[in-house]
Each structure stands twice: as C-alpha cells, then as structure tokens.
Amino acid sequence: MASGATDQETKLGHFQQQPSHPVFKPFLLLSRGYWQDEGAIKAWTLTAVVLVFLFMQIAVQLAMNTWNRLFFDALEMKQVAGVLAAISWLPVLIIISAITVSSLLVAKMLLQTRWRAWLTDKLAGWWVADQRYYRLGFVAPDQSAPEYRIAEDVRLAIEPLVEFSLGLLTAFITAATFATVLWQVVGSYKLSLAGTQFEVPAYMAWAAVIYAIVASAAALFVGRPLVAKVSDKNEAEAQYRAEMTRLRENAESIALIRGDVDELGSLRASYKTVLDSWLSVIRRQGIIALVLNTNGALFPIVPLLLVTPKYLSGDLTLGGVMQVVAAFGAVQGALIWFVDNLVRLAEWYASASRVIELTNALVEIDTATGTPGTETIEITESEDESIHIENLSVGNLEGKVFINDASVSIAPGSKILISGESGTGKTTLIRAIAGLWPWGSGSIRIPRDASISFMPQKPYIPLGTLRDAMLYPTNGMEIPDEVIKSALVRCGLKYMIPRLDDENMRWDQILSGGERQRVAFCRLLILKPQIIIMDESTSALDEASQTSLLSLIQEELEYATVISIGHRSGMEKFHEIGLTLERRDTGAEMSSHKLSKSFWERLVKPILMEKSQATRL
C-alpha cells in the first residue's frame, strides 16, 4: 500500500520545469525514452528507415531538377532525340518518386504511432499507479480532463513533432543542395555602378536566402501571438467537454431538481468562451494568411525576374532558366518552412504544454509524498494480525490538520464504528487507512498480505457483464456460479440472476443507488476479505435492508475486521467499539468507547453456538 514512483516514473519526473519555461526541451526529455527503453532497437531501426527514404526523396528531387534542364535545353535546340531521351527517363523517375514518397509516408506514420503508443502507455501507467488519478484532484484541481491530455494531446504533440523534425531536416538538406545548384548553374552576377564593375558571387543563392528571411520574419512577427491564442482555445475546448461530462454524470440529480435552465446557461457561457477563443484564432490566422498569400503571389515571379538578365545575355539556356526557377523554389520552400508550419507549430506548442502541465502535476504528487524530509503518513506491515494506528495526524497540502495525534489498535475481527460531527475528518481517516491519503504524519500498520475491501457510498461498477461487476477488481477469477448466485439471493438481487451475463449493458447507469450498494455486499460474500472498510455503504438502503446486509457480515464474515462510518440509526448494534472524533482547535481528537451489547453478542453468536453444539451432538 506504500506509495512511490517506479524507476520509469522517476525517469519521467526528471523533466520537471516551471510553466514559464519553453516546452520543447521538457517534452523531449519526457518522450525520448522511446529510444532508450525496451524496444529501443526497433525504435532506432524504424527511425533509420524513415531517414533512408527521406534522403532518397531529396535525391529524386535533385534528379527531377536535372531532368528539367536536360528536357528544356533539348526543347530549345529542337533536338528530337534529346527530348525523347529525356521523356524516356520520366516514367522511371516518376515510379521511383512515387515509391519513395509512399514508403516515407508509411514509415513516418509507423514512427508516429509507435512513439505515441509508448508515451501514452507511460503516462497512463504513471497516472493510474499509486492512485495518482485520485490524488491529482487534491494536488492540482486545475488540471482539467487529464484523460483527454493523455489520449488526445499526446497525439497532437507526437504526430506534428515527427513531421516538424523530418520537415526541418528536409528543409536544411534541400536548402543546402539546391543553393549549390543555383551557385553552379547561375554563377556570379556582374554589376556596374558608376563605371565600377562589381561581381556578386552566387547571387541567386543569396537572393533566395534573403527573400526567405524577409518573408519568414514578416510571418513570424504577425504570427507570434497565435501560440497563446491556440493554447487558450484548446483549454476552452477542454473545459467545455468537462462541463458536458459533469452534466452527463450528474444527470439524475440535475433532472430531479429541474436544473436544466441553469445548466444550459452554464453550457452556453462555457461555449461562448470557446467561440471567443476560436474567433481570436481566426482573426490572427487571417493576418498570417495575408502575409503568406502575398508571398505566394511573389514566389513564382521573383526567380524569373532575377534570372532574366542572365538569359537575355546568353549566359543561360532555357533549360538553365527552368532548372534555376525550380531550384530557387526548392530553396525558398525549405527556408520558409517555419512560415508554412506556423499554425501547426502553434497547435503543437499548445498540446505539448498541456501534456507538460499534466506531468508536472504528477511530479508534484510524487514530490508531495516522496521528498526526503517531508512528513507523510507511513503505511507499513503489522507485526501481528491487528491494525495499529500510532500518533496519526491527518492534514492537507495547505497544512490544515483534520485529525491530531490519534492512536488506536484494532484487533482482528473487531467491528469498529467511527462517528463525529461533519467536517471532523471521518472520511479522510478512512482514506488514510486505505492508503489513499498520504498527507499527514504518524503510521498505520496493516497485517501483511491482508485482503482489503473498501466500500464507498457509491460503489464503482465497471463496464462489462454483471458477473464482471460481482468479481471486480479481481475479474477473471474462477468462481462457481452457485457462489455468485447465492450471493445475489442473499443480498436481495435474486431477480438479477437471469441477467448475470448480459452483454453491452451499462450497469453503472442501470442500477439504482441501493442496488449498487447490494452489489458491493455481494462482492464481500464472494471474495471474503479480511479487512472491510465501509464509508456510508448502506446510506441508499432502507433500515430493514441495512439490517439484513450488515447481518450477513456478522454471519458470513465473523473473522473480518470491519471499520465503518455511518450516521443512520441501528448501526451501533452491528459494532463493538466506537471511535469518536471530537472537534478541537488543533484538529479533531479521537476517543474510543465500547458500544452497548452488539447484535452479534445478543443474537447471532448464540445461534451459531447452538448450531455448533448440535453438530457436535
């Protein structure tokens, strides 16, 4: 039950950074384990395959650029043989290009899928392990929809990152390759000013670089605010989804009190935030589009204007012009890569930021419960069969103390009832005993290898059949049908036996509150735990049903240690010892007292003794 990060979780925690820091570095530190953990050989092999096809694609582009010159030179000189020779090579180049581009696409998508699968698995495992999914709500309540961040934001952060990495590498190699082509084909330009001759070496290559820098600077200047606007838009979308999820999960309560109008108003207000965020993004994208479209109009004209003097002077053939225009376009396209991907970079940054925010929150959970010198509740093994609570103080992250310096030993088979005013920390004490609440000091010692069942007020019903729900969380156990059916009968759910294996049923929505609590008692009879922790677990039942089900614990699970919270009348007769939490300025203090003669001592125990004597006779 002790909490703590695994080795992998510790590795993931090394990236922790403040929200004001750049996202790129911490995200790479988080996700680079794909090339370091098990399966690293496959990851590096897939990466190598992607790079091979990428270089092949650039080689094909260079071959097509050379083909342009050969074809148009032959066309200008009206050399039929040369034109036919060039045309004969065209199908080969097209086939090679198609195979290369298709193979690069498939390899790239495989890399994206495998990398995303690795990171999703690690984050989901980290989130679920040691009840971090539960503690996250206390440590970072502002982390909305962590499941969306793991399922969707990871995808939106991984897939573009692969695209960007390959795009940046392609841009660099393409720019260098075709700048060399411009240098070799066009050469220098002789400029005469005031009777003085100046020679500008590789002027077309420099012109492509300068033009790309100007265009990129303009786009980046107008596009920089887009990153924050996209981030706000994504956050608003997540909040809106969370609002609708909350409405669905609380549908019955809202419907019963006729809260439709208020909820609709809340949804509309939430969506107005989404709409305003989208409009802000659209306005900024419109400004960026103006810059990009201006560049698109100039892009085909600029190289033609620059190369015209060379052609008119006879220093360049028509084939050379076409080769230069294509090469200029390749260099230009490579150097304005950031401009073309500005919107996608903003989307990536927003999604990666949300992933980093989640992982920072998970690190904060581990920091709050695992930093040397930080006081936490120690969960250890008991030397005997009893539960020992020693000098236990239970608080929260802000330092508020709920329960102060409580100590008690609970013998095996004891039936304990915890009571006290609202807000004295009864449920928090139960959480601490169950290992869910680490904040505080002192120790709780639990018998080694003891099987524990925790029964909250609203028991969890998993997806699947009713049989799966009966056996949760040990689904897959081989339990005879007779045992399951007997439990259903004894817990008042006999009418559910014909539906035990019905498929595609949402039992969490079909079962009433009382039926869910009966299912929880069925689990007790089937799994027979040694320790039972109950938190208002009969609140949805009538008093007769409560008596019937609690009697089953006394009859069938006499050996089990029971720790209960309950306010309803009649609970005392099923428990032997009362623990009362009394409010004090320094935190609630615990006192224990023996309850009046219990139902067990008055009725059940004599009946069992009679049966035992009859058996001996």
Mean pLDDT for the stretch of residues 182-203: 64
- Range name among 54-58, 99-103, 312-316, 467-471 with the lowest pLDDT average: 312-316
Judge whether 536 lies within some domain.
Answer: yes
Higher pLDDT, 143 or 293: 293
Q: Identify whether residues 318 and 459 lie together within a single domain.
A: no
Q: Identify whether residues 122 and 230 lie together within a single domain.
A: yes
pLDDT at 78: 77
Query: Is pLDDT at 522 greater than 50 in this prediction?
Result: yes
Q: How many domains does the chain have?
A: 2
Give the pLDDT confidence of 424-436 residue by residue, as tens digits. 888 888 888 887 8
Judge whether 1 lies within some domain.
Answer: no
Domain boundary among 370, 399, 416: 370
Judge whether 437 lies within some domain.
Answer: yes
Q: Are strands 378-382 and 440-447 parallel, antiparallel or unpaired?
A: parallel
Cα torsion through 291, 295, 298, 302, rounded to 10 = 130
- Range name among 99-108, 139-148, 331-340, 546-555 with the lowest pLDDT average: 331-340
Q: Identify whether residues 276 and 397 lie together within a single domain.
A: no
pLDDT at 257: 77
| Cα three-residue angle 560-562-566, rounded to 5 degrees | 155
- List the structure tokens of 213: 């820098």
Torsion-angle region of 553 (φ positive above 0: left; ψ -120 to 50: alpha; else: beta): alpha
pLDDT at 144: 66
pLDDT at 45: 92
Q: Any bridge partners for residue 593, and if so which? A: 578
Query: Is pLDDT at 2 greater than 50 in this prediction?
Result: no
CB 444 within 8 A of CB 378: yes
What CATH number is given to the structural domain containing 553?
3.40.50.300
Q: Identify whether residues 362 and 400 lie together within a single domain.
A: no
Q: Identify whether residues 365 and 403 lie together within a single domain.
A: no
- Range name among 79-88, 465-474, 575-584, 594-603 with the lowest pLDDT average: 594-603
Judge whether 2 lies within some domain.
Answer: no
Q: Identify whether residues 363 and 398 lie together within a single domain.
A: no
Name 237's Cβ contacts closer than 8 Å, sequence gap at least 6. 274, 277
Query: Is pLDDT at 115 greater than 80 in this prediction?
Result: yes
CB 609 within 8 A of CB 603: no
- Range name among 453-462, 481-490, 562-571 with the lowest pLDDT average: 562-571
Q: Identify whether residues 327 and 382 lie together within a single domain.
A: no
Judge whether 586 lies within some domain.
Answer: yes
SS3 532: strand
pLDDT at 489: 93
DSSP-based helix, strand, coil % in the chain, nearest 5? 65, 10, 25
- Range name among 93-102, 369-378, 575-584 with the lowest pLDDT average: 369-378
Q: What is the average pLDDT value for the chain, to the nearest integer?
A: 79
Q: Identify whether residues 539 and 433 lie together within a single domain.
A: yes
SS3 190: strand
What CATH number is given to the structural domain containing 314?
1.20.1560.10
Query: Is pLDDT at 50 greater than 90 in this prediction?
Result: yes
Of 248, 255, 237, the closest CA to residue 144 belongs to 237
Mean pLDDT for the stretch of residues 240-262: 82
pLDDT at 1: 40
pLDDT at 518: 92
Give the pLDDT confidence of 369-421 residue by residue, as tens digits. 554 445 788 888 888 888 999 998 888 777 778 888 888 898 988 899 988 88
Mean pLDDT for the stretch of residues 256-279: 87
Judge whether 507 lies within some domain.
Answer: yes
- Range name among 66-70, 231-235, 394-398, 613-617 with the lowest pLDDT average: 613-617
pLDDT at 187: 62
Judge whether 402 lies within some domain.
Answer: yes
Higher pLDDT, 9 or 206: 206
pLDDT at 107: 92
Query: DSSP class of residue 375?
Result: -
pLDDT at 611: 47
Question: Looking only at Cα atoms, what is the longest distance across the chain?
Answer: 133
pLDDT at 491: 92
Give the pLDDT confidence of 126-179 residue by residue, as tens digits. 888 877 877 777 777 666 678 878 888 888 888 888 888 888 888 778 777 777
Alpha-carbon distance of 260 to 244, in angstroms, equals: 12
Residue 188 — very low, low, confident or very high, per pLDDT cuts 50/70/90?
Answer: low
Query: Is pLDDT at 482 greater than 80 in this prediction?
Result: yes
Contacts 24+ apart (CB under 8 A), 496-500: 496/466, 499/466, 500/465, 500/466, 500/467, 500/470
pLDDT at 25: 82
pLDDT at 594: 83
Q: Identify whether residues 383 and 484 lie together within a single domain.
A: yes
Query: Is pLDDT at 329 greater than 80 in this prediction?
Result: no
pLDDT at 197: 63
Q: Identify whether residues 190 and 68 lie together within a single domain.
A: yes
Alpha-carbon distance of 398 to 321, in angstroms, equals: 72
SS3 390: strand
Give the pLDDT confidence of 332-356 residue by residue, as tens digits. 666 667 666 766 777 788 788 888 8
Q: Is the peptide bond before 480 cis (omega within 30 degrees of 0)?
A: no
Alpha-carbon distance of 220 to 24, in angstroms, equals: 18
Judge whether 539 lies within some domain.
Answer: yes
Query: Is pLDDT at 240 greater than 70 in this prediction?
Result: yes
Cα torsion through 258, 260, 261, 265, rounded to 10 = 140
Query: Is pLDDT at 496 greater than 60 in this prediction?
Result: yes
Mean pLDDT for the stretch of residues 267-287: 87
Alpha-carbon distance of 192 to 456, in angstroms, equals: 89
Give the ranges where 250-341 is alpha helix by DSSP (H): 251-256, 260-298, 301-312, 318-335, 337-340
Domain boundary among 370, 400, 415: 370
Q: Identify whether residues 316 and 390 lie together within a single domain.
A: no
Residue 515 — very low, low, confident or very high, per pLDDT cuts 50/70/90?
Answer: very high
Expressed as residue numbers, the domain containing 525 is 378-616
Query: Is pLDDT at 479 greater than 70 in this prediction?
Result: yes
pLDDT at 166: 86
Domain boundary among 370, 394, 427: 370
Query: Is pLDDT at 613 greater than 50 in this prediction?
Result: no
- List the structure tokens of 55: 């270089």
Q: Identify whether residues 316 and 403 lie together within a single domain.
A: no
Query: Is pLDDT at 193 greater than 70 in this prediction?
Result: no
**Element at 211 (helix H, strand E):** helix 203-223
Alpha-carbon distance of 229 to 378, in angstroms, equals: 45
